[in-house]
Amino acid sequence: MSSLRERMCNSARQLLVAKSSAIVVGITLKNSLTLTVIALVIQGPMTMDSASGSSDASPRDAWKTFSIVVVTFLLLIVSATIMTSFIQSMESIPPKLKDTYAAGVVLIPAWAWKDVVAALMTTLGVVGVLHKDSKRDAAGFAVGSALLCSLLQICLEVMTSNFDKASLVACVVASLMTCFALGVGFAVDTAIHAVCGEKIFSTIRFQLGYALAMSILVPMVQEKVTSVLTPERRKEWYVAVTKTLDFLAAALNFVLGWAWKGLLDAWLHDYAVQGTKQQLEVSLTITAIGIVAQVVITLVGAPPEIIAVSALAAGMNIGWTWMEFAAACVGETDVGLGGLWLQTVITLCVVVTIASVAEWVISTIEKFEVKHLLVAVPGKAASMPKYGAVEESRA
């Protein structure tokens, strides 16, 4: 019972405290920083359309858009690195909790890197390197980005292998690996859509089959990589091989999140766009689905790696849907730079508060179990007769 409670608490912490919160924080900060750069540097309209790029833009405008998202990514990398380093340096937090929180924090700049990959695809399309309707180009970009990011990550980890885990350099490398994995996952998901065609992806039946197929494939890959890359083999095999397998397995985790997003959008998007009330109902529904799925996976005794994959996929969709609810509440009104950051601060305060309450509830449940055991054992011992008393009664 104690083991089950521990697994449930760890699973809930990954989903509700680390993953979902970090996704909302990351997307919020990414959007705010991007719009701030647009307003201050190029003095353009404060809309995300200005940062997403357009296939009809001139090469100069496309490269300008690309530079904006790169600057935003660098700002978020610095922020996330400082936060991760701060968490790792806190002695009051147990090591397992440090890893959970750090895994959430590194998701914050990952969404900015996803925009970098998307902007690069658009820019290469504008200059004629990639063709929008070419399945071969989409697949080639996905494979090329995977190989390039994997090689870059391997080089960074090898060069920084002697640094302490809590050091600033190690935190940067950890953040970059998550960013690269999410970017590659986005490129792979885009390539799959290009190869299959958007028409077939618009049907709920295909989306359901695709999501279920990825739900089977990704955990299988995770289990296979974990079983193959034992500590002994990691020492024997080349670093390039082990790190590439780790990186590609991490990238597939994000593909699973997008697969379920596609299914949920095909099922609920038309209802959600009808108004704020409808979007709230959809957000609550997706949150409930994510929590139930995480509970079931934990109860069946899935390995920790599979629980982490489930928490990431569910957390991605929970974070996305509440971002859409926040956007529905705010509307598309241009509130200016001051209003933008006021909304950002309010959103972050709400997210941090909810995450803190969730962490308090989870910690209380854990402490209650420990306290119960500590009280029960002495009570039981006190109620039992002493050995000497037993012998005296026999005499």
pTM above 0.75, yes or no: yes
Pair 293, 11: CB distance under 8 Å: no
Q: Which two tokens stand for residue 251?
A: 């990238």
Say what the pLDDT of residue 252 is: 87
Say what the pLDDT of residue 44 is: 55
Say what the pLDDT of residue 234 is: 79
Say what the pLDDT of residue 7 is: 81
Say what the pLDDT of residue 50 is: 54
Say what the pLDDT of residue 89 is: 77
How many structural domains are present in the chain? 1
Compute, in degrees rounded to 10, the torsion defined by CA atoms 79, 82, 83, 84: 120
Say what the pLDDT of residue 198 is: 79
How far apart CA 40 and CA 309 sit, in angstroms, is 39
Q: Which two tokens stand for residue 102?
A: 């750090």
Say what the pLDDT of residue 74 is: 87
Residue 178 structural domain: 2-394
Say what the pLDDT of residue 333 is: 63
Query: Which residues, given as ranges, of the chain have pLDDT below 70?
Result: 1-2, 41-56, 96-97, 100, 103, 165-166, 332-335, 369-395
